[in-house]
A = this chain, B = another copy of it.
Amino acid sequence: MDTLELVRLNLLSPMVLAFAVGVAASLARSDLKFPDALYVALSIYLLLAIGLKGGAELSGTPAATVWAPLLVTLLIGTATPVWCYAILRRLGKLAQADAAAIAAHYGSVSAVTFLAGLTFLQRAGVPAEGFLPALVAVLEVPAIIVALIIARTATGGMNSWAGALREALAGKAVVLLTGGMFIGFLSGQEGVAQVAPFFIEPFHGALTLFLLEMGMVAARRLRDLAAIGPFLIGFAIVMPVLHGILGVYLGTLAGLSVGGSTILGLLAASASYIAAPAAMRIALPQANPAFYLTASLGITFPFNLTAGIPLYYALARLVHGGG
- Which residues of B lie under 8 Å from residue A187 when comparing CB positions? 12-14, 17
Residue of A41, A184, A203 most packed against chain B (CB within 10 A): A41
Report if A165 contacts B (CB, 8 A). no
Report if A231 contacts B (CB, 8 A). no
Q: Do A170 and B44 have beta carbons less than 8 Å apart?
A: no
Interface of A is mostly: helix
- Which residues of B lie under 8 Å from residue A183 when comparing CB positions? 14, 17-18, 21, 208
- Which residues of B lie under 8 Å from residue A12 when comparing CB positions? 186-188, 191
> How far apart sit A204 and B175, CA to CA, in the bound complex (Å)?
21
Report if A254 contacts B (CB, 8 A). no
Given A37-B37, A209-B45, A198:B202 Cβ within 8 A: yes
User: Which residues of chain A in 48-83 are interfacial with respect to chain B, using CB atoms and an 8 Å cutoff?
Assistant: 48, 52
Partner of A25 from B167, B175, B186 at Cβ < 8 Å: B175
Report if A148 contacts B (CB, 8 A). no
Report if A155 contacts B (CB, 8 A). no
Nearest chain B residue, comparing its CB with the CB of A179: B21
Report if A24 contacts B (CB, 8 A). yes
Which of A28-36, A97-105, A310-318 lies on the face that meets chain B? A28-36
Q: Do A28 and B197 have beta carbons less than 8 Å apart?
A: no
The contact string, 1 if C-beta is below 8 Å from chain B, for chain A 134-163, is 000000000000000000000000000000
The contact string, 1 if C-beta is below 8 Å from chain B, for chain A 164-201, is 00110011100110011011101110011011111101
- Which residues of B lie under 8 Å from residue A188 when comparing CB positions? 12
- Which residues of B lie under 8 Å from residue A234 when comparing CB positions? none
Q: Do A195 and B176 have beta carbons less than 8 Å apart?
A: no
14 examples of A-B residue contacts, CB within 8 angstroms: A13-B194, A14-B52, A14-B187, A17-B182, A21-B180, A28-B175, A29-B170, A30-B172, A31-B167, A32-B44, A37-B41, A45-B209, A179-B212, A195-B204
Q: A14-B183, A29-B170, A32-B44 are in contact. List 14 more A-B contacts (CB 8 A).
A: A13-B191, A14-B191, A17-B187, A21-B179, A21-B183, A25-B179, A28-B170, A31-B172, A35-B37, A37-B41, A45-B209, A123-B194, A195-B205, A198-B208
6 closest Cβ pairs, A-B complex: A198-B205, A35-B37, A198-B202, A37-B37, A21-B179, A195-B205
